[in-house]
Amino acid sequence: MRLVLVGPPGAGKGTQAHIVAAQLSIPHISTGDIFRANVAGGTELGLQAQEFMNAGELVPDSVTNAMVADRLAQPDAQTGFLLDGYPRNREQAVVLEGLLAERGIALDAVVELDVDNESVIARLLDRAIKDGRADDTEDVIRRRLDVYSEQTEPLVGYYREHGLLRSVDGVGSIEDITARIVAALAS
């Protein structure tokens, strides 16, 4: 299966993507995780991404799209993948479609984790304490939520129009949410 998981920062995308990808035996591809690994490793890509991440802004499309194209060309992604945190704007969605179309394939579904703003902020502040992520400070959290509603949320409508969207209630226990995602994918 070729899947995308979309939802605001703090919706629990990473947790669910990890579980669902393992269940489906497909790679979990998180652009945020790849960027963080590159920042930690001090690579050229990390240097390019770091300032945007710390400000809660999107890393430029040219950088992000090239990274995803490389990742999707790896052998483990040939039979399926679960993209977590990509695409994040219309331009990236169009590039992804093109990348897949070149290989004669397309997405099977886009799962939206639907979570209210208050739950999201509470989760992000909790994660800030537990994980100490550099972009989980209050100002940056606010900016990331704005970026989500301005740039990423419109994708939900885009994928709905394309008949790919499966909206899932993202509030509840980890197990319940996983079960909802699995059920939504089966429908």
Task: Look at residue 8 and give its three-state secondary structure.
Answer: coil
Among 7, 12, 27, 85, binds ligand AMP (CB under 6 A): 85
Considering Cα of 110, then 115, then 116, then 117, what sign does the dihedral take?
Answer: negative
What's CA 133's distance to the chain center, in Å?
17
Q: Which of residues 138-167 bind ligand AMP (CB under 6 A)?
A: 144
Among 56, 123, 168, 177, binds ligand AMP (CB under 6 A): 56
| Catalytic residue flag (residue 13) | yes
Measure CA of the first residue to CA of the last residue in the chain; give whole Å.
14
Given 71, 90, 133, 160, the catalytic residue: 133
Residue with smaller CB distance to ligand AMP, 106 or 134: 134
Residue with smaller CB distance to ligand AMP, 104 or 174: 174
CB atoms within 10 A of CB 36: 18
Q: Assess whether the previous peptide bond of 8 is cis (omega < 30° from 0).
A: no
Q: Which residues are catalytic?
A: 13, 88, 127, 133, 144
Binding residues for ligand AMP (CB under 6 A): 9, 31-32, 35, 52-53, 56-59, 64, 85-86, 88, 92, 135, 144
